């Protein structure tokens, strides 16, 4: 089991209505610090911003705590694209169950 107090977490801004990503807003070391940062972002959020669907969530990451949010967003997006591309190239065997006739 990995110790969440030593791992890094990205605080991600995301619109739950449009599915638009606002990107990484912070990379923080330790779950408790990340949860505190997330709450700070939520407290600083205007009611209008929240009403139109913007929320924050945590994502465990190997990025370095304190990393520039723009760089972290770019790195995260690149990784997501690579993972999606690999998933499209690898057939999902569970989607095509074998027939034992």
For the beta sheet containing 8-15, the strands, ordered from the edge strand earlier in sequence to the opposite edge, are 21-29, 8-15, 54-61
pLDDT at 1 over 50: no
DSSP state for residue 46 in the 8-state scheme: -
Predicted pLDDT of residue 44: 97
CA–CA distance, 77 with 63 (Å, rounded to integer): 13
Residue 49 has a pLDDT of: 97
pLDDT at 93: 61
Residues 57-79 have pLDDT tens digits of: 999 999 999 999 999 999 999 99
Instruction: Output the six-digit token pair for 97.
Output: 């169950």
Tell me the three state secondary structure of residue 64: coil
Tens of pLDDT, residue by residue over 29-59, are 999 999 999 999 999 999 999 999 999 999 9
pLDDT band at 96 (very low <50, low <70, confident <90, very high): low
Q: What is the pLDDT of residue 47?
A: 97
Buried b / exposed e over 54-65, threshold 16 CB at 10 Å, is: bbbeeeebebeb
What pTM was estimated for this model as a whole?
A: 0.81
Supply φ then ψ for residue 56, to 5 degrees.
-125, 145
């Amino acid at each position: 089991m990995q110790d969440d107090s030593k791992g890094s977490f990205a605080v991600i801004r995301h619109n739950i209505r449009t599915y638009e990503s606002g990107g990484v807003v912070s990379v923080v070391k330790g779950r408790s610090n990340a949860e505190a940062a997330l709450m700070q972002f939520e407290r600083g959020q205007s009611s209008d911003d929240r009403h139109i669907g913007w929320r924050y969530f945590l994502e465990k990451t190997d990025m370095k705590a304190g990393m520039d949010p723009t760089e972290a967003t770019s790195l995260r997006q690149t990784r997501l694209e690579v993972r999606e591309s690999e998933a499209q190239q690898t057939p999902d065997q569970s989607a095509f169950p074998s027939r034992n006739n």
